[in-house]
Chains A and B, each alone.
Chain A
Amino acid sequence: MTNMFDVCIIGCGVIGAAAAFELSKYQASVLVLEKENDVAMGSSRANSAIIHAGYDPLPGTLMARLNVEGNAMAEDLCRDLDVPFKRIGSLVLAFSDAEKATLETLLDRGQRNGVPGLKILSAEEVLQMEPQVSPKVVAALYAPSAGIITPWEYTLAFAETAVLNGVELVRNAKVTAIQKGADGGYRITTTAGEFEARYVINAAGVHSGEIHEMVAPKTFTVKPNRGEYYVMDKAECFRANHVLFQCPNEDGKGVLVTPTMDHNLLVGPNAVGVEDGDRVNNTAEGMAFVRGKAELSVPGINYRNAIRNFAGIRANTDRDEFQISIAAERFIDLAGIKSPGLSSAPAIALEAMKLLSQCGFRPEKKAHPITTRKKVRFRYMNDQERRELILRQPQYGRVICRCETVTEGEILDAIHSPIPPCSVDGVKRRAGSGMGRCQGGFCGPRIVDILCRELHLDPLSVTQDGAGSRLLLKETKQVGDEF
């Protein structure tokens, strides 16, 4: 006998998490199934970390509407849920007359999409705002509503708050089959057991096609597309004050250069179609491509100051549109959510509520759902705040990650958060430890230590990240062991 949930959400990336958060404000029993050992393990953690303004999508598309709506919602949500977000504005740089014409097209699109405050800037204006941009720039489209965000924190904030509101999250639960139950609901088979739900939301990202086809005839094909990035040391952050795009082309929005919320510089991505939507490797060609393209916008980036490469997968499909619809009776697709999916996430969640309502699910609102979250971020406090914090709780006085000044108190907060991390990178995404220039070289062993102490784990079982990514393979020799 399994529990019958009202709604089962498959996938806990930013889309599934946003939907779970929205649903958690209602009187409904909600289950979220995530195939990995943590939330935000796919595209949601490896992307450009931008809340786009919304001038890219064609007017009339869902992408256009949900991007602009999602962008407008981000500010309040990030304030309430304590997610690092800042509207720093974006510039699309044009380096030729042909590209200048593209800016006009984007301006027109953006205005029709309802993007506020767009304007075209002269080269002088651009160089005044961005002294490091190539002097070859001829004009730029300025979008003041574009912002930067810490995307895994956005996902975590939605998911954690949903869990506090009673949503059940099951990790390491890969869906292997979905069957129609006798009572009109669904029976969902996973690697973590069977579950039942009256309604299902497919938010499986790059795997949303497979989930769709477990229930409904094929209507779209996911075409995973990989983008590679450089994360630069804070010493390079001065090179961009805004999100600096190049003119978009058939491969997407092109290579961007942007500051991040933690004052690093992010450079990338390229766009390459790949077979395996779960493999996020970097390639020499991809990295060289990104460096070459970025050089056109912002010459002179010093890659000796690189601290990390990463790659993410776009859940592109054969349609240039989000696949958001009622795909079968009581089964909703939030599928093929590619860029601008992160920007659209909270608006997509509202869309899911509408579709659920159309399917006949209209729960009552809870009287007092939790809609706020608060985190300690020692590194962004002033001296006085630090003084008081350590006085109150001495563990905030012990620095564990020296590059990012993350304290033991923050590591403990992360470990005892509503969705406890089980890996070193899980702690990293929650507390920021290991994000800096030594990439966890110093704090890694200490994080393993604290994880084991707090969660009573064997160090040999601690993973770097996903299941299987064990850090330590065995104990060193003991006295009496054979050589």
Chain B
Amino acid sequence: MYDLIVVGGGPAGLAAACSAWEKGLKQILIIERDKELGGILNQCIHNGFGLHRFKEELTGPEYAGRFIDMLRDTGVQVMLDTMVLEINRDHQVHVISAANGYQVLEARSIVLAMGCRERTRGAIGIPGDRPAGVFTAGSAQRYLNMEGYMVGKRVVILGSGDIGLIMARRLTLEGAQVLACVELMPYSGGLMRNIVQCLEDWGIPLYLSHTITDIVAKDGRVSHVTVHKLDDNRQPIPGTNLEFDCDTVLLSVGLIPENELTRAAGIEMDPRTNGAVVYENMETSIPGIFACGNVVHVHDLVDYVSAESERAGAAAAAYVSGTAPEGGTIDIRNGADVSYTVPQRLRPGNVPKAADIFFRVRRVFKDSVIEVSADGAPLVTYKREHMAPGEMEHILLPRKLLDTVDASEITVTAKEA
């Protein structure tokens, strides 16, 4: 019997395990399907990680390495090359591996840290031929940075998610020509710093409110794409076509939390995030099962993944030690121009000094405020100079404030000041 089983050895799982160890749990196991710890950070060889967490710029493998080093000083056990097939509400974890066969493990608590996967061509239905040369940005990143192969020489990128932007620069550095980055929405899906550093600095044009309307193959490989400008209903405007001769299309069109295990366990899901509904301490609807990182909601910065996961690890430790949350629950609603919140529920009695609330806005804001209200009456507001859907927002709700809330729900709204 383990005190804690952590499913996934990426940044979320590593931070959760370290923090649970610090809080006194002894029998901790991380299960990782890959042959090494670190998760997707291992292929993110660019820098920019850790500015918040370590106050310095690290590469992905360096950032993961910091946590792997911390783990070395603990007694946390690790099973690599092992796949979790099933988790159930009795905290049983079914796993397989070539080394140990089929095992059913039991744990007092579980942290889900499976991360996310990329949306594919099929999910967005791009018309045209279906040749080789259409990659998700992350797959291309793996081929380049882990396997050492170029996926293309003339590239069009669809979507302006951060991985796509990073790959625009990476491919350029490797000598490829990135002809365009094409974004469906009127704003970028990635961080502003990535737009500047990965596109503008290299003269790569960004076409907002455009999409790929046709992919043409020659001899089994991409040879041409057509791009159209979109009207307000996101329909292609005839005659606005841009034509690109290219051999590769990279897709950076969104990430989806990977929650097949979560759903199969019967954990309550949030259709807005595609992740589990969680409380202030990252606990899911099944007591003793926690979730953190991109499996809950897609983050922009790994620094925040680590912080969130440390809360989950600490909460798992508290759960195992028998500390039960007391008092009522407040639901957090997403009001106007806010697309979701994490957590979705608060137990004020379980909030230490303040509750971290993460969310995204639906459009670009300048000189705006975030308002938290109960029963239509504002509780507190937070000023923001700039907000965009591509940049996750974060507020701290003080415990003192929460203790005064009488309502069963509060609402987070974004609006112009």
| Residues of A in contact with B (beta carbons under 8 Å apart) | 230-231, 279-284, 286-287, 303-310, 383, 386-387, 390-391, 394-395, 397-399, 402-403, 405, 408, 437-442, 444-445, 448-449, 459-460, 463-477, 483
Tell me whether A441 and B147 are in contact in the complex, defined as CB-CB below 8 angstroms, given that A281-B130, A309-B125, A398-B81 are known contacts: no
Instruction: Quote the shortest CB–CB distance from A278 to chain B (angstroms).
Output: 11
Nearest 8 CB-CB pairs, A to B? A469-B220, A464-B132, A468-B220, A308-B122, A469-B132, A468-B219, A472-B149, A399-B83
Task: Return chain A residues, CB-CB under 8 Å to B151.
Answer: 471-473
Bound: A311/B231 CA distance, A: 28
Given contacts A466-B220, A474-B150, A474-B153, 14 further A-B pairs with CB under 8 A are A281-B129, A306-B125, A308-B122, A386-B96, A397-B99, A402-B33, A439-B121, A441-B118, A444-B139, A459-B147, A470-B221, A471-B143, A473-B247, A475-B149
Bound: A442/B148 CA distance, A: 16
Task: Return chain A residues, CB-CB under 8 Å to B85.
Answer: 405
Task: Return chain A residues, CB-CB under 8 Å to B148.
Answer: 475-476
Task: Return chain B residues, CB-CB under 8 Å to A309.
Answer: 121-122, 125, 127, 130
Say if the beta carbon of B102 comes within 8 Å of chain A. Answer: yes
Task: Return chain B residues, CB-CB under 8 Å to A471.
Answer: 132-133, 143, 151
Contact of A282 among B117, B123, B127, B136 (CB under 8 A): B127
Taking CB atoms and an 8 Å cut-off, the chain B residues in 236-258 that contact chain A are 236, 247
Bound: A471/B213 CA distance, A: 22
Check if B101 sits within 8 Å of A465, measured CB to CB. Answer: no
Tell me whether A398 and B127 are in contact in the complex, defined as CB-CB below 8 angstroms, given that A284-B213, A442-B117, A445-B143 are known contacts: no
Check if A307 sits within 8 Å of B98, measured CB to CB. Answer: no
Say if the beta carbon of B152 comes within 8 Å of chain A. Answer: yes
Bound: A287/B213 CA distance, A: 12
What are 14 A-B residue pairs whose CB atoms fall within 8 Å in the complex? A282-B128, A284-B213, A308-B120, A309-B127, A397-B98, A437-B120, A441-B138, A459-B149, A463-B132, A471-B132, A473-B150, A475-B149, A476-B144, A476-B174
Chain B residue nearest in CB terms to A471: B132
Tell me whether A473 and B153 are in contact in the complex, defined as CB-CB below 8 angstroms, given that A304-B123, A438-B120 are known contacts: yes
Bound: A438/B152 CA distance, A: 21
Task: Return chain A residues, CB-CB under 8 Å to B174.
Answer: 476-477
Task: Return chain B residues, CB-CB under 8 Å to A474.
Answer: 149-150, 153
Tell me whether A394 and B101 are in contact in the complex, defined as CB-CB below 8 angstroms, given that A445-B142, A475-B148 are known contacts: yes
Check if A463 sits within 8 Å of B220, measured CB to CB. Answer: yes
| Residues of B in contact with A (beta carbons under 8 Å apart) | 33, 81, 83, 85, 94, 96-102, 117-118, 120-123, 125, 127-133, 136, 138-139, 142-144, 146-153, 174-175, 213, 216-217, 219-221, 236, 247, 260
With contacts defined as CB atoms under 8 Å apart, how many contacts are there between chain A and chain B in the complex?
154
Task: Return chain B residues, CB-CB under 8 Å to A408.
Answer: 98
Task: Return chain A residues, CB-CB under 8 Å to B129.
Answer: 279-281
Task: Return chain B residues, CB-CB under 8 Å to A310.
Answer: 130
Check if A307 sits within 8 Å of B123, measured CB to CB. Answer: yes
Tell me whether A399 and B96 are in contact in the complex, defined as CB-CB below 8 angstroms, given that A469-B221, A475-B150, A476-B144 are known contacts: yes
Instruction: Quote the shortest CB–CB distance from B70 to chain A (angstroms).
Output: 27
Instruction: Quote the shortest CB–CB distance from A238 to chain B (angstroms).
Output: 13
Contact of A397 among B102, B127, B213 (CB under 8 A): B102
Task: Return chain B residues, CB-CB under 8 Å to A383.
Answer: 94, 102
Tell me whether A441 and B220 are in contact in the complex, defined as CB-CB below 8 angstroms, given that A469-B131, A475-B149 are known contacts: no
Bound: A403/B97 CA distance, A: 16
Task: Return chain A residues, CB-CB under 8 Å to B99.
Answer: 394, 397
Task: Return chain A residues, CB-CB under 8 Å to B81.
Answer: 398
Instruction: Quote the shortest CB–CB distance from B226 to chain A (angstroms).
Output: 11
Task: Return chain A residues, CB-CB under 8 Å to B236.
Answer: 284
Tell me whether A468 and B138 are in contact in the complex, defined as CB-CB below 8 angstroms, given that A402-B83, A405-B85, A438-B118 are known contacts: no
Bound: A309/B98 CA distance, A: 34
Task: Return chain A residues, CB-CB under 8 Å to B144.
Answer: 476
Bound: A391/B98 CA distance, A: 9
Task: Return chain B residues, CB-CB under 8 Å to A307.
Answer: 120, 122-123
Chain A residue nearest in CB terms to B144: A476
Task: Return chain B residues, CB-CB under 8 Å to A459.
Answer: 147, 149
Check if A470 sits within 8 Å of B132, measured CB to CB. Answer: yes
Check if A306 sits within 8 Å of B123, measured CB to CB. Answer: yes
